[in-house]
Structure 1
């Protein structure tokens, strides 16, 4: 198979200490690539460098910047779940805009992958048949997120969905406009991720919710109750899909990552 990014190349992974980001770095390293992980505070996540260099060899992972890299996987996003769209969405859009433009100006970078979400495409319509393609966007979430205040707590999930929708729309807009035309661009749109952790200090994100339910954490239980029917996917599979989207030129539009449906039910003792 012809690949866009040769093995041995250095790949930037943003949010490399996160739940998915660390798995993406792990899969890249296991596939023969080197990784530069970008994080907000390198001193606080020195453990990621120690973990990967011990596992894959000294110099295989470092926390540095774009020059000299061949690809970028942008995993990091705003997961504060703030209910005010003005405090969340512009920053997410600015983040992908800045990183894509910077990558386009770096001659060595050939391929760019954005971690989006299935929620950027649609929220799911139980019992309905409809076409899922590159023209489908979650306009309902965007409308709900930007509705007039008050910005109450229950609006947070729609703000998050809208941030994913509008950030991915902006990315494709930049690519199609020609501003970043020299980059191969793809998005991966995973649904609810579950699966193992690589390190005790790793950000646990959606995987931590499963642990919370098992430990009877009320916040985790309430979150799952609010989901209704959902689709899940293993976080390791999602990480592997990011590597495929980065290196395989046959992947041209993006990958929707969903495995099987689930629904949270409360079991009552007899």
Structure 2
């Protein structure tokens, strides 16, 4: 019997999705609704994101989705009210201000994960908890050594770089983001080890994420989609900063990321796992090659200098492929297939 037919959480129950207006979180909510779950999504401004309620009501029916206001995800008890009667939590919300000072990012990120975990621990109905982590918890963006990545791999390089003494140059923002994500995910596993909550925890590790938008009109080019769109359109003003910092990256299709969240919430055999949402290593010129091959009538910018592919062997990706196939999906999407399918949203 496929796990979709034998879920840990009963269809019809309510899942809390934090930061539901975000690119990944919005697709997580859509996938959950598509599989019979109700979703309660937290946002800082319910009026601004009211379009989501209308969108989901039209697609999935009335009474399946609700927005709730959480002003400060780092505040103690911030999620207490939103947590009531939910069976699972997808904690997708994160501090994404690109601040290069780790003192302004890491402590509030730790406060946020501890706040939502404490709220979940006080809620008897919660049976599963999934944290949206990142591939940067495993590997720094400029690593070139050949290693085998495992469930025990951590990116201590970004942690060390993030906490170097000031001045806090703007370029450090990416390392600070990675350090905050490492601290956040480690805090969740420490909570599990020390507190032994009644719910099982998993994490999902997306890399450079692209894919479908719920509403291009309302979402624009959120998160990492902006860099693919900018490269496609030749907007080097947007790309200059990222291409100078990032020379290689993993690739994730947002639907794969969302389905791994679903697995972390309902798959009976997925407990205490870090779920990789990417496999191969790519660089900007790989994207440009995809564009030139599939859109031959368009002109694109010249190849970017200094790029490389990470030689690390991504062992845990095989488990993610197996899990996705349990849900009737082919496994982690190939970058070219995903890009060609979804780039028309931005043309």
Task: Please indicate, yes or no, whether the TM-score normalized by the shorter chain is above 0.5.
Answer: yes
Does the aligned pair in 2 maintain the 1:79–1:160 contact within 8 Å? yes
CA distance in 1, matches of 2:232, 2:62: 37
The runs of 5 or more residues in structure 1 that have no matched partner are none
Displacement, 1:225?
A: 4.5
CA distance in 1, matches of 2:144, 2:115: 40
Once the two structures are superposed, what CA deviation does each residue of 1:202-239 show, in whole Å capped at 9, x if it has no partner? 26110122112223323432213431121111111111
Does the aligned pair in 1 maintain the 2:106–2:180 contact within 8 Å? yes
Q: 2:224 aligns with which of 206, 209, 222?
A: 206
Q: Which residue is 1:140 aligned to?
A: 157
Partner SS for 1:11: strand
Once the two structures are superposed, what CA deviation does each residue of 1:14-65 show, in whole Å capped at 9, x if it has no partner? 1111110100000000111000000111121111111111110011100131
Shifted more, 198-207 versus 54-63: the winner is 198-207
Q: 1:224 aligns with which of 239, 243, 246?
A: 243
Which has the greater radius of gyration?
Answer: 2
CA distance in 1, matches of 2:248, 2:233: 22
- Alpha-carbon RMSD across the aligned residues, in angstroms, is 1.6
Displacement, 1:82?
A: 0.7
Does the aligned pair in 2 maintain the 1:8–1:33 contact within 8 Å? yes
1:72-87 → structure 2 map (5 Å cutoff): 72-87=89-104
- Greater relative contact order, per chain length (Cα 8 Å cut-off, separation 6+): 1
Partner SS for 1:73: strand
Count of residue pairs brought into register by the alignment: 267
CA distance in 2, matches of 1:78, 1:126: 24
Displacement, 1:173?
A: 0.2
CA distance in 2, matches of 1:23, 1:50: 15
CA distance in 2, matches of 1:180, 1:25: 27
Q: Which residue is 1:118 aligned to?
A: 135
4+ residue stretches of structure 1 with deviation over 4 A? 124-127
CA distance in 2, matches of 1:47, 1:261: 36
CA distance in 1, matches of 2:61, 2:27: 17
Q: Tell me, yes or no, if structure 1 residue 99 matches structure 2 residue 119.
A: no
The runs of 5 or more residues in structure 2 that have no matched partner are 69-81, 286-300, 304-347
Does the aligned pair in 1 maintain the 2:142–2:248 contact within 8 Å? no
CA distance in 1, matches of 2:83, 2:120: 7
Displacement, 1:3?
A: 2.1
Q: Tell me, yes or no, if structure 1 residue 169 matches structure 2 residue 186.
A: yes
